[in-house]
Amino acid sequence: MKKLLIPVLLSTGLAVSGTAGAGVLDAWQLNVPAPFANAGLTTNIGHIDLQGGFSTVVVDTTPSGGNIAVGNTFTEAGGIFTLTFTPENSPGLGDFGPGATLANSLQLNLAYSGLSGTVNNINGGFLDFSYNTPGVGASIGLYDGAAIPANLLTNFALITPSGGQQAFTPLGGFQPNGTNDLLAAVFNSIAGLFKDSSGTSLDTKILAGQLIADVHTDNKLQSETKAVNPDGTSKDTLIFTSNGSLDLATVPEPESVALIGIGMLLLGFFKRSTKSGMAA
């Protein structure tokens, strides 16, 4: 398959260029080529529905003797499926059902490994964390169906800010639910995969590093396992399930713009839940 390749500057961090007009894409299109299972053109996408996610988060709690504390680092791996998409019905990040219909079927898999980050703050019953961006060794891919790695459609590179919140207890335990937001630049994509509402290819945006995936999930903690080794090292392994959405957005052109500013613009559209969490 012909793919578009753009450099990902892991050593210096991703930055993009652009003029005014950054914003969420409405009624965009996904053009999956043959012989993939989802081959064909899907139009009028408000967002892709993410369902049945499963993540393993391992926190290095060595300095704090088993309990999670500010400054602890973590790694994460997992995946989340999509069976449907929600048609465009509201400008921006506000589209609502029906997503789960036969007409809106879209079977994809968002898989990730090697993600890493840091616990930044524990305050008022909530734990805040962020991902290392760009994450050296991190892999995020969107695949056709469940086949990995043969059916790769596109890759993503995390950008700032990506992270979330998790309800937290004074004794170091997690409450069941949370939220997470990932921003990621689209790269290494099959040519012509993404189109705007008019059917115009977004390949030029990808080549310029200006097409961004905005992934939001609501998560539920399934298990927590603490381990303290004889040598004093310790870790906390957390298993989460998650559901959410994937939107696309474009960022501006001419001068270089720090992605943290763009990230804050995009995340501002979200209606934040009062419950928050730690897995993608």
Write the CB contacts of 227 (distance below 8 Å, at least 6 apart in sequence).
66, 234, 235, 236, 237
Q: Is the backbone peptide bond immediately before 63 cis, with ω within 30 degrees of 0?
A: no
Domain boundaries, the chain: 22-267
Confidence category of residue 70, pLDDT binned at 50, 70, 90? very high
pLDDT value at position 148?
66
CB 240, CB 221: distance < 8 Å = yes
Rounded to whole angstroms, the Cα distance separating 214 from 171 reads 33
Rg (CA), the chain: 19
Report, as an integer, the average pLDDT of 103-116: 92
pLDDT score recorded for residue 65: 79
CB 55 within 8 A of CB 75: no
Q: Is the pLDDT of residue 271 over 80?
A: no
* Contact yes or no for 186/159 (Cβ under 8 A): no
Q: What is the mean pLDDT of the chain?
A: 80
Q: Is the pLDDT of residue 79 over 50?
A: yes
Q: CA dihedral in degrees (90, 92, 95, 99; nearest 10)? A: 120
Q: What is the pLDDT of residue 119?
A: 94
- In this structure, what are the phi and psi dihedrals at residue 39, rounded to the nearest 5 degrees? -55, 135
Q: What confidence category does residue 132 fall into, taking pLDDT thresholds of 50, 70 and 90?
A: very high
Residue 103: pLDDT band (50, 70, 90) is confident
What residues contact 74, with CB distance under 8 A and at least 6 apart?
57, 58, 59, 60, 116, 117, 118, 119, 129, 278
187-245 per-position pLDDT tens digit: 999 999 999 999 999 999 999 999 999 999 988 888 889 999 888 899 999 999 889 99
Would you say the C-alpha torsion 153, 47, 9, 31 has a positive or negative sign? Answer: positive
d(C-alpha 252, C-alpha 261), whole Å: 11
Residue 19: is its pLDDT beyond 50? no
pTM: 0.81
Q: Any alpha helices (H) in the chain, and if so which ranges?
A: 203-207, 259-267
Question: Could you tell me the pLDDT band of residue 15, with boundaries at 50, 70 and 90?
Answer: very low
